[in-house]
Structure 1
Amino acid sequence: MEVSEYSPQRHSLLDAIHRFNAATTIMDETIMVPSMLQDIAPAKEEPEEPIQSKDVLGQNNNLYDSYLLLKSLRNDMKWGIHHENGKREGHCPDKEATEEETGDLVDQFQHHLKGLLSVLTKLTKKANILTNCYKKEVEIGNSNAGPFPSIHYY
Protein backbone atom coordinates (compact mmCIF):
# COMPACT_ATOMS: atom_id res chain seq x y z
CA MET A 1 0.00 0.00 0.00
CA GLU A 2 1.45 3.36 -1.02
CA VAL A 3 1.22 6.51 1.01
CA SER A 4 -1.34 8.78 -0.58
CA GLU A 5 -0.27 12.03 -2.16
CA TYR A 6 -1.31 15.34 -0.68
CA SER A 7 -4.59 16.74 -1.95
CA PRO A 8 -5.03 20.36 -0.94
CA GLN A 9 -8.40 20.42 0.78
CA ARG A 10 -7.59 22.99 3.43
CA HIS A 11 -4.78 25.46 3.60
CA SER A 12 -4.46 26.01 7.35
CA LEU A 13 -1.15 25.88 9.17
CA LEU A 14 -2.46 23.37 11.69
CA ASP A 15 -3.61 21.02 8.91
CA ALA A 16 -0.24 21.34 7.16
CA ILE A 17 1.58 20.59 10.42
CA HIS A 18 -0.69 17.59 11.03
CA ARG A 19 -0.10 16.23 7.51
CA PHE A 20 3.68 16.66 7.85
CA ASN A 21 3.69 15.01 11.27
CA ALA A 22 1.54 12.12 10.01
CA ALA A 23 3.73 11.60 6.91
CA THR A 24 6.97 11.62 8.92
CA THR A 25 5.49 9.33 11.57
CA ILE A 26 4.44 6.83 8.89
CA MET A 27 7.89 7.21 7.30
CA ASP A 28 9.59 6.53 10.64
CA GLU A 29 7.36 3.53 11.42
CA THR A 30 7.79 2.07 7.92
CA ILE A 31 11.55 2.43 7.55
CA MET A 32 12.92 -0.25 9.83
CA VAL A 33 16.46 -0.18 8.45
CA PRO A 34 17.27 3.46 7.64
CA SER A 35 20.78 2.61 6.41
CA MET A 36 19.14 0.80 3.45
CA LEU A 37 18.20 4.24 2.14
CA GLN A 38 21.85 4.86 1.26
CA ASP A 39 21.59 2.19 -1.44
CA ILE A 40 18.24 3.30 -2.90
CA ALA A 41 18.16 5.65 -5.87
CA PRO A 42 15.64 8.42 -5.30
CA ALA A 43 12.45 8.27 -7.34
CA LYS A 44 11.96 10.90 -10.00
CA GLU A 45 9.49 13.41 -8.61
CA GLU A 46 6.84 14.92 -10.82
CA PRO A 47 7.38 18.60 -10.14
CA GLU A 48 4.39 20.87 -9.76
CA GLU A 49 6.69 23.84 -10.30
CA PRO A 50 9.46 24.39 -12.84
CA ILE A 51 12.38 22.01 -12.39
CA GLN A 52 15.14 23.43 -10.25
CA SER A 53 18.63 22.11 -9.66
CA LYS A 54 17.96 21.64 -5.96
CA ASP A 55 16.19 18.75 -4.30
CA VAL A 56 13.17 19.58 -2.09
CA LEU A 57 15.40 19.38 0.98
CA GLY A 58 18.45 21.12 -0.44
CA GLN A 59 21.40 20.04 -2.53
CA ASN A 60 21.36 16.35 -1.56
CA ASN A 61 19.63 13.54 -3.38
CA ASN A 62 20.62 11.02 -0.72
CA LEU A 63 17.50 9.42 0.76
CA TYR A 64 19.27 8.60 4.03
CA ASP A 65 20.24 12.25 4.60
CA SER A 66 16.69 13.30 3.67
CA TYR A 67 15.31 10.79 6.18
CA LEU A 68 17.50 12.15 8.98
CA LEU A 69 16.63 15.73 8.10
CA LEU A 70 12.87 15.04 8.01
CA LYS A 71 13.06 13.33 11.41
CA SER A 72 15.05 16.24 12.81
CA LEU A 73 12.54 18.79 11.48
CA ARG A 74 9.65 16.82 12.97
CA ASN A 75 11.40 16.74 16.35
CA ASP A 76 12.06 20.49 16.15
CA MET A 77 8.38 21.11 15.45
CA LYS A 78 7.24 18.84 18.29
CA TRP A 79 9.73 19.77 20.97
CA GLY A 80 11.05 23.16 19.89
CA ILE A 81 14.42 24.24 18.60
CA HIS A 82 17.21 23.95 21.13
CA HIS A 83 19.46 26.98 20.99
CA GLU A 84 23.00 26.88 22.33
CA ASN A 85 23.51 28.88 25.53
CA GLY A 86 19.74 29.35 25.78
CA LYS A 87 19.83 32.54 23.70
CA ARG A 88 17.46 33.49 20.93
CA GLU A 89 18.78 36.02 18.48
CA GLY A 90 16.64 39.07 17.82
CA HIS A 91 13.98 38.15 20.38
CA CYS A 92 13.12 40.59 23.16
CA PRO A 93 9.75 39.82 24.78
CA ASP A 94 9.76 42.97 26.95
CA LYS A 95 9.76 45.32 23.96
CA GLU A 96 6.30 46.55 22.99
CA ALA A 97 5.39 46.96 19.33
CA THR A 98 4.28 50.34 18.07
CA GLU A 99 1.25 50.74 15.78
CA GLU A 100 3.55 51.08 12.78
CA GLU A 101 5.36 47.86 13.69
CA THR A 102 2.02 46.09 14.20
CA GLY A 103 1.02 46.69 10.58
CA ASP A 104 4.39 45.39 9.51
CA LEU A 105 3.93 42.38 11.80
CA VAL A 106 0.67 41.48 10.04
CA ASP A 107 2.44 41.59 6.67
CA GLN A 108 5.33 39.55 8.06
CA PHE A 109 2.93 37.03 9.55
CA GLN A 110 1.07 36.59 6.24
CA HIS A 111 4.37 36.23 4.37
CA HIS A 112 5.76 33.65 6.78
CA LEU A 113 2.47 31.75 6.99
CA LYS A 114 2.42 31.34 3.20
CA GLY A 115 6.05 30.25 3.31
CA LEU A 116 5.41 27.74 6.10
CA LEU A 117 2.45 26.24 4.25
CA SER A 118 4.55 25.89 1.10
CA VAL A 119 7.52 24.35 2.90
CA LEU A 120 5.39 21.96 4.96
CA THR A 121 3.57 20.78 1.84
CA LYS A 122 6.89 20.07 0.10
CA LEU A 123 8.34 18.31 3.16
CA THR A 124 5.20 16.18 3.49
CA LYS A 125 5.48 15.19 -0.17
CA LYS A 126 9.18 14.34 0.33
CA ALA A 127 8.38 12.15 3.37
CA ASN A 128 5.70 10.30 1.37
CA ILE A 129 8.06 9.78 -1.58
CA LEU A 130 10.84 8.54 0.69
CA THR A 131 8.46 6.11 2.42
CA ASN A 132 7.19 4.77 -0.92
CA CYS A 133 10.76 4.33 -2.27
CA TYR A 134 11.67 2.31 0.81
CA LYS A 135 8.52 0.17 0.56
CA LYS A 136 9.20 -0.59 -3.10
CA GLU A 137 12.81 -1.53 -2.36
CA VAL A 138 11.77 -3.84 0.47
CA GLU A 139 9.13 -5.48 -1.75
CA ILE A 140 11.72 -6.00 -4.52
CA GLY A 141 14.15 -7.43 -1.96
CA ASN A 142 11.53 -9.86 -0.69
CA SER A 143 10.58 -11.00 -4.19
CA ASN A 144 14.26 -11.63 -5.04
CA ALA A 145 14.87 -13.71 -1.93
CA GLY A 146 15.81 -16.71 -4.03
CA PRO A 147 14.41 -20.04 -5.13
CA PHE A 148 13.90 -21.29 -1.60
CA PRO A 149 10.39 -21.18 -0.19
CA SER A 150 9.66 -19.24 2.95
CA ILE A 151 10.10 -21.15 6.15
CA HIS A 152 7.08 -21.09 8.41
CA TYR A 153 7.32 -22.11 12.04
CA TYR A 154 4.22 -23.55 13.65
Structure 2
Amino acid sequence: MMMQLPESHVQKNSLFNAMHRFIGAVNNMDQTVMLPSMLRDVPLEEDREMSSMKSDEDEGDMYSYYQLLKSIRSNIEWGVRCSAQDENHKESLTISRKNSSASTASTASLSSEEDEEDEEEDEDLQKQFQYHLTGLHGVLSKLTLQANFLTKRYKQEVGIGGWGQ
Protein backbone atom coordinates (compact mmCIF):
# COMPACT_ATOMS: atom_id res chain seq x y z
CA MET A 1 0.00 0.00 0.00
CA MET A 2 1.38 3.38 -1.01
CA MET A 3 1.74 6.01 1.70
CA GLN A 4 -0.14 9.17 0.81
CA LEU A 5 1.48 12.51 1.49
CA PRO A 6 -0.47 15.74 1.76
CA GLU A 7 -0.53 17.41 -1.64
CA SER A 8 1.05 20.81 -1.87
CA HIS A 9 0.14 23.13 -4.72
CA VAL A 10 3.23 21.97 -6.62
CA GLN A 11 2.40 18.28 -6.17
CA LYS A 12 -1.23 18.84 -7.12
CA ASN A 13 -0.14 20.25 -10.47
CA SER A 14 2.53 17.65 -11.18
CA LEU A 15 2.40 15.58 -14.35
CA PHE A 16 2.48 12.43 -12.22
CA ASN A 17 -0.68 13.50 -10.37
CA ALA A 18 -2.39 14.54 -13.61
CA MET A 19 -1.70 11.07 -15.02
CA HIS A 20 -2.87 9.47 -11.77
CA ARG A 21 -6.14 11.46 -11.82
CA PHE A 22 -6.72 10.54 -15.48
CA ILE A 23 -6.04 6.84 -14.92
CA GLY A 24 -8.31 6.88 -11.84
CA ALA A 25 -11.11 8.55 -13.81
CA VAL A 26 -10.79 6.02 -16.65
CA ASN A 27 -10.69 3.12 -14.17
CA ASN A 28 -13.86 4.48 -12.54
CA MET A 29 -15.45 4.86 -15.97
CA ASP A 30 -14.44 1.32 -16.90
CA GLN A 31 -15.87 -0.11 -13.66
CA THR A 32 -19.10 1.87 -14.02
CA VAL A 33 -19.77 1.14 -17.69
CA MET A 34 -20.98 -2.45 -17.55
CA LEU A 35 -22.45 -2.41 -21.05
CA PRO A 36 -20.21 -0.26 -23.28
CA SER A 37 -22.45 -1.03 -26.26
CA MET A 38 -25.13 1.16 -24.62
CA LEU A 39 -22.88 4.11 -25.42
CA ARG A 40 -23.21 3.50 -29.17
CA ASP A 41 -25.19 6.18 -30.96
CA VAL A 42 -25.26 8.40 -27.83
CA PRO A 43 -24.13 11.75 -29.26
CA LEU A 44 -21.35 13.72 -27.62
CA GLU A 45 -22.67 17.22 -28.19
CA GLU A 46 -25.60 17.09 -25.76
CA ASP A 47 -23.54 18.73 -23.01
CA ARG A 48 -21.81 22.12 -23.22
CA GLU A 49 -18.96 20.85 -21.04
CA MET A 50 -18.17 18.02 -23.42
CA SER A 51 -18.67 19.99 -26.64
CA SER A 52 -16.17 22.64 -25.54
CA MET A 53 -13.51 19.93 -25.25
CA LYS A 54 -14.10 18.48 -28.71
CA SER A 55 -11.87 19.30 -31.62
CA ASP A 56 -13.03 19.68 -35.21
CA GLU A 57 -12.01 16.14 -36.02
CA ASP A 58 -13.97 14.59 -33.14
CA GLU A 59 -16.97 12.82 -34.59
CA GLY A 60 -18.78 9.84 -33.29
CA ASP A 61 -20.56 8.69 -30.22
CA MET A 62 -19.85 8.10 -26.55
CA TYR A 63 -18.69 4.56 -27.33
CA SER A 64 -15.85 5.81 -29.53
CA TYR A 65 -14.78 8.18 -26.73
CA TYR A 66 -14.96 5.31 -24.24
CA GLN A 67 -12.61 3.27 -26.45
CA LEU A 68 -10.30 6.26 -27.01
CA LEU A 69 -9.98 7.02 -23.28
CA LYS A 70 -9.20 3.37 -22.52
CA SER A 71 -6.59 3.32 -25.29
CA ILE A 72 -4.89 6.45 -23.93
CA ARG A 73 -4.87 4.95 -20.43
CA SER A 74 -3.22 1.84 -21.84
CA ASN A 75 -0.58 3.94 -23.62
CA ILE A 76 0.22 5.76 -20.38
CA GLU A 77 0.42 2.56 -18.34
CA TRP A 78 2.23 0.35 -20.85
CA GLY A 79 3.90 2.78 -23.23
CA VAL A 80 3.15 3.57 -26.82
CA ARG A 81 3.61 0.58 -29.06
CA CYS A 82 6.17 1.30 -31.74
CA SER A 83 5.88 0.03 -35.25
CA ALA A 84 8.78 -1.66 -37.06
CA GLN A 85 9.26 1.56 -39.02
CA ASP A 86 9.71 3.53 -35.76
CA GLU A 87 12.26 0.96 -34.55
CA ASN A 88 14.25 1.25 -37.81
CA HIS A 89 14.24 5.04 -37.46
CA LYS A 90 15.52 4.78 -33.87
CA GLU A 91 18.31 2.42 -34.95
CA SER A 92 19.43 4.76 -37.74
CA LEU A 93 19.48 7.68 -35.28
CA THR A 94 21.59 5.66 -32.86
CA ILE A 95 24.07 4.75 -35.60
CA SER A 96 24.17 8.37 -36.79
CA ARG A 97 24.88 9.60 -33.23
CA LYS A 98 27.64 7.02 -32.75
CA ASN A 99 29.31 8.12 -35.99
CA SER A 100 28.93 11.75 -35.02
CA SER A 101 30.41 11.21 -31.56
CA ALA A 102 33.33 9.24 -33.05
CA SER A 103 34.18 12.08 -35.42
CA THR A 104 33.80 14.59 -32.58
CA ALA A 105 36.11 12.52 -30.39
CA SER A 106 38.79 12.71 -33.07
CA THR A 107 38.68 16.51 -32.86
CA ALA A 108 40.96 17.72 -30.06
CA SER A 109 38.61 20.31 -28.55
CA LEU A 110 35.36 22.10 -29.20
CA SER A 111 35.57 25.67 -30.37
CA SER A 112 33.84 28.41 -28.40
CA GLU A 113 31.33 28.68 -31.25
CA GLU A 114 30.31 25.03 -30.76
CA ASP A 115 30.06 25.61 -26.99
CA GLU A 116 27.61 28.46 -27.59
CA GLU A 117 25.54 26.27 -29.92
CA ASP A 118 25.42 23.55 -27.26
CA GLU A 119 24.23 26.06 -24.64
CA GLU A 120 21.56 27.37 -27.01
CA GLU A 121 20.47 23.81 -27.77
CA ASP A 122 20.24 23.01 -24.04
CA GLU A 123 18.16 26.14 -23.45
CA ASP A 124 15.97 25.24 -26.43
CA LEU A 125 15.48 21.72 -25.05
CA GLN A 126 14.41 23.18 -21.72
CA LYS A 127 11.88 25.45 -23.45
CA GLN A 128 10.60 22.54 -25.54
CA PHE A 129 10.26 20.40 -22.44
CA GLN A 130 8.30 23.12 -20.59
CA TYR A 131 6.06 23.67 -23.60
CA HIS A 132 5.25 19.98 -23.99
CA LEU A 133 4.91 19.40 -20.25
CA THR A 134 2.39 22.22 -20.00
CA GLY A 135 0.52 20.91 -23.04
CA LEU A 136 0.47 17.33 -21.75
CA HIS A 137 -0.80 18.47 -18.36
CA GLY A 138 -3.60 20.42 -20.05
CA VAL A 139 -4.57 17.51 -22.29
CA LEU A 140 -4.61 15.08 -19.36
CA SER A 141 -6.85 17.46 -17.41
CA LYS A 142 -9.32 17.65 -20.31
CA LEU A 143 -9.25 13.87 -20.79
CA THR A 144 -9.94 13.40 -17.07
CA LEU A 145 -12.98 15.68 -17.37
CA GLN A 146 -14.14 13.70 -20.40
CA ALA A 147 -13.82 10.36 -18.57
CA ASN A 148 -15.77 11.76 -15.60
CA PHE A 149 -18.41 13.20 -17.92
CA LEU A 150 -18.75 9.93 -19.83
CA THR A 151 -19.22 8.06 -16.54
CA LYS A 152 -21.90 10.56 -15.47
CA ARG A 153 -23.70 10.32 -18.83
CA TYR A 154 -23.64 6.50 -18.71
CA LYS A 155 -25.24 6.59 -15.26
CA GLN A 156 -27.96 8.89 -16.61
CA GLU A 157 -28.54 6.62 -19.61
CA VAL A 158 -29.05 3.53 -17.42
CA GLY A 159 -31.00 5.36 -14.74
CA ILE A 160 -28.47 5.39 -11.91
CA GLY A 161 -27.78 9.13 -12.10
CA GLY A 162 -28.07 9.63 -8.33
CA TRP A 163 -25.39 7.09 -7.38
CA GLY A 164 -21.88 8.13 -6.40
CA GLN A 165 -22.09 11.73 -7.53
TM-score of the pair, normalised by structure 1? 0.71
The match for 2:33 is 31
Please tell me whether the aligned partners of residues 27 and 130 of structure 1 are also in contact (alpha carbons under 8 angstroms): yes
5 Å-filtered alignment, 1:119-134, equals 119-134=139-154
Displacement, 1:99?
2.5
Displacement, 1:86?
6.2
**Mapped pair 1:109 → 2:129:** yes
Displacement, 1:46?
3.2
CA pair 57-19 structure 1, distance change in 2 beyond 3 A: farther
Higher RCO (CA 8 Å, separation ≥ 6 residues): 1
Distance in 2 (alpha carbons) for counterparts of 1:90 and 1:45: 42
The match for 2:48 is 45
Unaligned runs of 5+ in 2: 1-8, 102-116, 161-165
Displacement, 1:88?
5.0
Deviations 1:8-49 (CA, angstroms, capped at 9, x unpaired): x621101100000000000111111111001434341337xx
The match for 2:113 is none
5 Å-filtered alignment, 1:3-152, equals 10-42=12-44, 43-46=46-49, 55=54, 58-85=57-84, 87-88=86-87, 92=93, 95=97, 98-139=118-159
Equivalent residues, number: 129
Distance in 2 (alpha carbons) for counterparts of 1:30 and 1:57: 28
Flag the structure with larger Rg: 2
Per mean C-alpha deviation after superposition, the further-off stretch among 98-107 and 82-91 is: 82-91
**What do you get for the CA RMSD once the two structures are aligned?**
2.9
CA pair 135-120 structure 1, distance change in 2 beyond 3 A: same
Unaligned runs of 5+ in 1: 1-8, 141-154
CA pair 41-121 structure 1, distance change in 2 beyond 3 A: same
Helix, strand or coil at the partner of 1:55: coil
TM-score of the pair, normalised by structure 2? 0.67
Please tell me whether the aligned partners of residues 56 and 126 of structure 1 are also in contact (alpha carbons under 8 angstroms): no
Percent of pairs identical after alignment?
41
Would you tell me which structure has more helix in proportion to its own residues? Answer: 2
Distance in 2 (alpha carbons) for counterparts of 1:119 and 1:58: 16
